[in-house]
Structure 1
């Protein structure tokens, strides 16, 4: 094995860098860590159609930020078996790269790649970061993706719940997205967890999501493109549709706003355009990440209703933080993530205990964010917390 700097990091993600999530919640952090002097190799699993479209863009970004990218092909079918095939490919590639680059840390995003991270720790003594994100196995069940009446899914669920405990016990550092998740992990009496659990929510690139990037001229041009008048009251939904998002409840909430204010329009910015029909009131679009701030800026209010459940205690909604960063009010529901912790502390965030509440748009006022928001949700803050974790493991 070739000797090398102890700042060599292997980052494993089953999400692709060409996915929207990879571009918003993986690459910006790793670019910041690279700037801090860490040599980072990324293995990710790319969907073929997205890889064909965006590989050049992502490779250029990685090159500009001194990130080494090792893309692998993601396989979707047959279910379960395809995942274990991908894992066998991942283990082989990770072993090859470790021989070449002698990694000191393996940083695993969520549960799938943690299987390989745990193996690398046991075999080579590499320090292991379990960046668990949410309670993934429980999310699959509660989201209806794994039916426990099916013996295969029941076996897979039990396998990952057993591994979850092993990941937590073996990890040299654990990352969770919410204070609520940290409390859950603490309640499980994980060995040494008090010292090794860090909360880093889904953060926002404030250079991109800034009101300063949305001039009056840009807003007027976008409104004209969308067929909106200056008097229209814009209710925004940003993100995917389905599984965890209470779409019907958000539509009902919008309709109650519409009953009070006939000028209300529902702007739906989603990659799932095929699931929503456009009409004079529902304006449905997909947008590139760099264009999203402009769409947010023309909105008066944003909705983010998420199904409350045990597993969603571990969730942090990127889109909610992005909208708040733009100074636009967000209405959400209780029972998920850190909304209880944030209630009353976060400007522009309105938490409903009852989704049948009759909305009064005058109640939701826009305001600029303060230091509390920046300390919690800025990309700069998130990168600084990851740097602290890395430095502690390498000290």
Structure 2
């Protein structure tokens, strides 16, 4: 099997790097992949002790990690600089180590990989992670039809036309791809590999008991553009009306101000605000808070680009035996929740819709097999080990296609 250069514009020292990138890399190395990693790290996270600890862990797995400084401003020039420096660094790694496959995680990494593959003849795995240019527009970062959007939609078409293999996070996303891929002599292989969970770290919490008169509702993750903090809090308000001993715990790396600013003008039942807790925790402590919860909630803005998404917190919640409360229209979430009966899908984001969902949730929580069913769903659909096997099989096939 050919050597692999894994390029990620998300830093390994970012929360996402800890929850997603690092576990995947270790799992792949453990199964025999020869990996070199190139990432872009933010200055505030590049504390020597932390970076050194991560590097030593990766080295112990046989992974060579090279990182560059991430630049944010001025936005366009900084990203162009990162792409140029990433290309030059990647070129040295590819030539020096005779790397045969470049695994690009999302679009900026793919821009680096594209030039490297054209220059050196290496194979190109485009790990899309979603429809990023459309996400930027629908999230309000870019203008629809603006220059950046048009540039990256053009690049997206080139990536899809050049990639030897393409990975998407959902079957709904995969269904949209054929209309996006330009005509080409050989069709790329398309694989659906959802965002997975570390089942060793995220496990059901032993001895958990529901408290009389209330539920423990938890949200895990960043706040801001995509996550509907106001609507999630409205849902908690309806829960509190019924069960006034309920609590809502928000574990987030984002500033609490982001959460509270979204609640301006929101009318909650008296006393409900005092039952909301917001804090930040190291990634290794998240499973304990999640495992103690009665249910996990995440409402995501249901825009078209999110059909290609899969929330990290979905698999992590199920792995802890915790059912989920979600809204509709995000990736394959609806199908997975309803077919496996591991949570509830809120149909309408208003008091009536929340009430219907609460009726279903409270009935579901009476099922003694619920936690076991959640864990089984995580093991069958979101296991990190299975995802690593899928990537490894792609590497093998990409290695075999050319001498």
Give the TM-score, by structure 1 length.
0.90
CA distance in 2 between counterparts of 1:325 and 1:64 reads 27
CA contact (8 A) 1:186 1:193 kept: no
Which residue of 2 is the match for residue 205 of structure 1? 198
CA distance in 2 between counterparts of 1:182 and 1:378 reads 20
The alignment status of 1:134 with 2:130, answered yes or no, reads yes
The alignment status of 1:101 with 2:97, answered yes or no, reads yes
Deviations 1:74-120 (A, max 9, x none): 00000111000111110110111122101100000001111111111
- Note the residue ranges of structure 2 that are not aligned, 5 or more in a row: 261-271
CA contact (8 A) 1:324 1:349 kept: no
CA distance in 1 between counterparts of 2:302 and 2:273 reads 30
Which residue of 1 is the match for residue 339 of structure 2? 345
CA distance in 1 between counterparts of 2:13 and 2:276 reads 29
Match of 2:305 among 301, 306, 311: 311
Which residue of 1 is the match for residue 156 of structure 2? 164
Match of 1:367 among 368, 371, 379: 371
CA distance in 1 between counterparts of 2:32 and 2:158 reads 31
Which residue of 2 is the match for residue 294 of structure 1? 288
CA distance in 2 between counterparts of 1:323 and 1:329 reads 7
| Greater mean alpha carbon deviation, residues 101-110 or residues 192-201 | 192-201
Is the alpha carbon distance of 1:118 and 1:189 closer, same or farther for their aligned partners in structure 2, counting shifts above 3 Å?
closer
Which residue of 1 is the match for residue 176 of structure 2? 184
The alignment status of 1:257 with 2:249, answered yes or no, reads no
Aligned-residue Cα RMSD (Å) equals: 2.1
How many residue pairs are counted as aligned between the two chains?
375
CA contact (8 A) 2:215 2:294 kept: yes
CA distance in 1 between counterparts of 2:126 and 2:341 reads 31
- Note the residue ranges of structure 1 that are not aligned, 5 or more in a row: 1-5, 224-228
Is the alpha carbon distance of 1:250 and 1:372 closer, same or farther for their aligned partners in structure 2, counting shifts above 3 Å?
closer
Which residue of 2 is the match for residue 29 of structure 1? 24
Which residue of 1 is the match for residue 275 of structure 2? 281
Q: What is the CA-CA distance between 1:371 and the residue it aligns to?
A: 4.9
CA distance in 2 between counterparts of 1:205 and 1:252 reads 31
Give the TM-score, by structure 2 length.
0.88
CA distance in 2 between counterparts of 1:173 and 1:321 reads 24
CA contact (8 A) 1:237 1:303 kept: yes
Structure with higher RCO (Cα < 8 A, 6+ apart): 2
SS in structure 1 opposite 2:322? coil
Q: What is the CA-CA distance between 1:372 and the residue it aligns to?
A: 4.8
Deviations 1:266-289 (A, max 9, x none): 111111243246963111111111
